[in-house]
A = this chain, B = another copy of it.
Amino acid sequence: MAGAVRSHGCLRLLGTHLKDLLYTKHCVLFDCDGVIWNGEKAVVGAPEVVSLLKKRGKSVFFVTNNCTRPRDGYLQKFSRLGFSDVVQSDILSSAYCSAVYLRDVAKVQGKVYVIGGDGVYTELHEAGVPAVGREPEIPGATIYDCPLDSDVKAVLVGYDDKLNFLKLAKACCYLRDPDCLFLATDRDPWHPLPRGRVSPGSGSLAAALETAAGRRATVVGKPGRFMFDCIAGRFGVDPARTVMVGDRLETDILFGRTCGVDTVLTLTGVSTLEQAQGYRDSPASEEAACVPDYVVDTVADFLPALDEER
């Protein structure tokens, strides 16, 4: 059966087909990086697409594994890049959802040791979850002699451009306690940067810690379904009437499939059409879940279908 489904994947979404799809969906989930913007540039047409979807009465949510900013930082970025009608409750980042998870699901009783940046610390603070990990160390401190905080009851690892060996080692020490929770914001392995450069992602740092601790982290971000549950629980979203638009097959498309929603791969980011077709044509059944239902060159391809309804 998997084969049968997959032979229908990677359909080019155009014209009437696109219009029909949008007609049947009440909720559109967008990834951000590589989908609606790249760095500080909006994908051409993306602000209009978001605006028109909202005007047509659709619910629009932004579901990003990027944990570097708090939601109000994203809100400023949306505004700066010309997305004029996005509100904070439209935005779900892995940092925000990690804070929600720690407060509402894990109900952590104690401090969280964080490998991460401002996005994570701010969201934890706003959720009322005490966090440690970025206090200045005594110069020359090592893992042999640095203080450890006995109130730490969870470790949260995410993208951290201030990562150093001591942070990693301290997290390992906390994780020796089997009762210490172990969370990762997401598993994104790397991120594209300008001029062909790349940066390690949260998944890279999580892998270091998982290897050293001999434990697997609970992952909050995509492709796990927690971020979808956050939306569905609060806004009553029906998976059958939802579509997920993303640029990473192993993250966004797998996420959509895991949540039972239709998926659209857009080609303005990391994954290519060839990779999507490779998954579709692969005999390995576990790769079926990374095959998008539909493919567009850019989210701007949605514009004609939305324009016609004007």
A residues touching B (Cβ–Cβ < 8 Å)?
142-144, 148, 160-166, 168-169, 172-173, 176, 189-190, 193-194, 196-201, 203-214
Docked complex Cα distance between A163 and B164 (Å)? 6
Q: Out of B162, B176, B190, which one reaches A213, CB within 8 Å?
A: B190
Q: Which residues of B contact A166 (CB under 8 A)?
A: 161
Given A209-B204, A211-B189, residue A176 in contact with residue B161 (CB < 8 A):
no
Question: Can you name the residue of chain B whose Cβ is closest to the Cβ of A142?
Answer: B161
Shortest CB-to-CB span from A21 to chain B, Å, is: 32
A170, closest chain B residue (CB) = B197
Q: A189-B214, A193-B144 are in contact. Are A169 and B199 (CB under 8 A)?
A: yes
* Minimal Cβ-Cβ distance residue in B for A163: B165
Q: Given the interface contacts A164-B165, A165-B160, A165-B164, does A204 sit within 8 Å of B193 by beta carbon?
A: no
Q: How far apart are the CA atoms of A190 and B213 in the complex, in Å?
A: 7
- Hey, which chain B residues are within 8 Å of A200, CB to CB? 165, 168-169, 172, 208-209, 211-212
A172 to B193, CA, bound (A): 12
Q: How far is the CA of A207 from the CA of B168 in the complex (A)?
A: 13
Chain B residues whose C-beta falls within 8 Å of the C-beta of A169 in the assembled complex: 197-200
Question: In the complex the two chains form, is B212's CB within 8 Å of A190's CB?
Answer: yes
Chain B residues lying within 8 Å of A168, measured Cβ to Cβ, are 163, 200, 204
Selected A-B contacts with CB under 8 Å, 30 pairs:
A143-B161, A143-B193, A143-B197, A148-B197, A161-B166, A162-B165, A163-B168, A169-B197, A169-B198, A169-B199, A169-B200, A172-B198, A172-B199, A172-B204, A173-B198, A176-B198, A189-B211, A189-B214, A190-B212, A190-B213, A199-B212, A200-B208, A200-B211, A203-B212, A204-B209, A204-B211, A205-B208, A207-B210, A207-B211, A208-B208
User: Would you give the shortest CB distance from A262 to chain B, in whole angstroms?
Assistant: 28
A182-B94 Cα distance, complex, nearest whole Å:
31
Q: Closest Cβ of chain B: how far from A166's Cβ, in Å? A: 8
In the bound complex, what is the Cα–Cα distance between A164 and B211 (angstroms)? Answer: 17
- Chain B nearest CB from A131 CB (Å) reads 19
A160, A162, A198, A213 — most chain B CB neighbours (10 Å) = A198
The closest CB in chain B to the CB of A175 belongs to B198
When distances are taken between beta carbons in the complex, the residues of chain B under 8 Å from A212 are: 189-190, 198-201, 203-204
Within the complex, the shortest CB–CB distance from A299 to chain B, in Å, comes to 26
Q: Which residues of B contact A173 (CB under 8 A)?
A: 197-198
A197 to B173: give the CA distance in the assembly, Å. Answer: 6
- What separation, in Å, do the CA atoms of A157 and B274 have in the docked complex? 32
In the bound complex, do residue B165 and residue A161 qualify as a contact, i.e. CB atoms below 8 Å apart? yes
Q: Give the shortest distance, in Å, between A54 (CB) and chain B (any CB).
A: 34
Closest Cβ of chain B: how far from A33's Cβ, in Å?
15
Residue in B closest to A200 when the chains form the complex, CB atoms: B212
Q: Are B144 and A197 in contact (CB under 8 A)?
A: yes
* A214 and B201 alpha carbons, distance in the complex (Å): 12
Residue from A169, A173, A193 whose CB has the most chain B CB atoms within 10 Å: A169
